A and B are shown apart, each in its own frame.
Chain A
Amino acid sequence: MALKEAIELLKKGHAYAKRTKYKEALGYYNRALSLDPRCAEGLFLRASIYIDTGKYKEALEDCDKALALNQNYSDAWSKKALALYHLERYDDAIVASTRAASLNGNDVNAWYIKGVCLDEVGRSDEAQEAYGRSLELEIILDIQAESKKVRK
């Protein structure tokens, strides 16, 4: 019962997060996680809010907790890479984004963060490869978004 309630709270929080109502979203996520502290998705969602509000250390902690529960959680690896980028821990961010991209090859954010961080540490050739993959995926997303607009 508590788990079901936690999922409902996460859904409500996510709806607020989409409208950039971060404070309200965080409130719902906290309540959900107090009911189910081992909810990896809840931890991931809260990490996203922390990223969007500039709390990168807290985001990293939540990502690590989510990954301790599920080592193959690709979105959490991707979010962790983003938190590490903001904390200027580029080498660690490269490891996290590489893991994210290996779990989900279509994660445009992971490839982009990988490129950015490789560039930051002077590994330009590898950065170009990651950027290339990121660009391919971004273009596909763009073409899809444009087609949706036309259909509307």
Chain B
Amino acid sequence: MRQVPETSMKTEMPLSKPIRRFLTQTEELLDTEISLLRQPEAEPGGTLVDKYTYDMDTNVIIFPAQYVGLLKDFIIAKHCTNLLIKGAATEKRDYKIVSYTEDSVYSGLRQIYIDALKDEAKKEKKLPVQKLIQMLFILFSQFNDDINELPWNAIMNASVYHRMPKIRKTQLYHIMKESKNDMDEMIEHESIIPRRYFVLDKAMFYARDMFLAKTLPADELMPVLNIPQMKKFNHLEVKEMLTTRWTHTAWYQSKVFGDNMLAIIDKPLGQVNWKVDEPTLDYYYDLYKVGVLVTDNLVSYMTMRDWYVWEPPRHLLAAHEKKEEYEKNALKKIFGDLITDTWEDSGS
């Protein structure tokens, strides 16, 4: 069981009317309890610790201490939606996420290594072998995390946008912030990561952003928001804001991958009816199935089908426990006995 740190503060906190209703509806639909927790070091996007993933009786939504008003409300709305999707799938005995096995780790690491060698052959300044070996599993894990997060992020945002019109401006700020963080991720490792994976990872986030820009077109941040740091986006619509940003990244030249991924995300999500009056658990189960389809299609597009497996959440938790063993065995299979010394030298 994942423990909630003792330093956290749990209080009855004020909530705006639509969020309070949504929270109650979520608890009633799932016949469960949701606790809210404010933590100084919480992730900017908040965290959901839920009974469908971890061995625990309740669910906790954790958010940063500085979120005292609508930012907190948005995080709650987003994670309640996520919880409903997970709960609905669990109810149907079908809740699975993208996990990995010893064999799939080998497939992934081997593929990344082959691609890395192709990149290295073109480089004047070669990457030290040690660094290259370390990079393999880190990159594999990164894609595992991202593929488990990204399609659901798009679904949650689209759902909240349609269900909670009163917090749209808050949502827009949050999306802008999240997009910036995701855009910056990996940038510092650009020279180490094989080009193909750098491009694919950025393409996923670009596609997510462009899907959201298309889904959330109506509102502008101005004139209600009057914040110096947001001035550069003055009078721009969401799509313009996000496109402007992406065009300023070095990645943009490879945007064809992002456009293809946008089509992959957009096709199934474009058919969802987001405006159902009284969504039932069956509705959220349908959202789950759409998320699975998007995930599958993205994995196929990135030719990572043999890297990952669909399994219940506890499988992934168990896989995380064994990740060092999986990594070590995969590296042994790829490099033979040569790896033993390198592994021991690196202190792993």
Contact = CB atoms under 8 A, between A and B. Distances in A.
Interface in B168-212: 169-170, 173, 177
A80 B170 CA distance: 26
B15 interface: yes
A109 interface: yes
Nearest to B20: A116
Nearest to B11: A52
Interface stretch (A33-41, A62-70, A134-142): A134-142
B69 interface: yes
Interface in A104-152: 108-109, 111-113, 115-116, 119-120, 128, 131-132, 134-136, 138-146
A120 B225 CA distance: 23
A137 B11 CA distance: 22
Contact of B14 (A116, A132, A143): A116
Nearest to A17: B9
A82 to B, nearest CB: 7
Nearest to B71: A138
A138 B70 contact: yes
A54 interface: yes
Given A134-B70, A135-B69, A138-B67, A20 B9 contact: yes
Contacts of B8: 20
Interface in B217-246: 224-227, 229-230
Interface residues of B, number: 28
Contact of B226 (A116, A136, A142): A136
Contact of A109 (B64, B68, B71, B225): B68
Which residue among A85, A113, A136 has the maximum number of chain B CB atoms within 10 Å of its CB? A136
A55 B168 CA distance: 33
A139 B231 CA distance: 13
A144 B67 CA distance: 12
A142 B71 contact: yes
Contact of B69 (A19, A54, A111, A128): A111
A143 B229 contact: yes
B166 interface: yes
A142 B166 CA distance: 20
A87 to B, nearest CB: 12
Given A115-B16, A140-B227, A145 B66 contact: yes
Interface of B: 7-9, 11-12, 14-17, 44, 64, 66-71, 166, 169-170, 173, 177, 224-227, 229-230
Given A132-B225, A135-B224, 6 more contacts: A119-B16, A134-B69, A136-B227, A139-B227, A142-B64, A143-B227
20 contacts: A19-B7, A86-B14, A108-B68, A108-B69, A109-B68, A111-B69, A115-B69, A128-B166, A131-B70, A132-B225, A134-B70, A135-B225, A136-B224, A136-B227, A138-B66, A138-B68, A138-B71, A141-B68, A143-B227, A146-B44
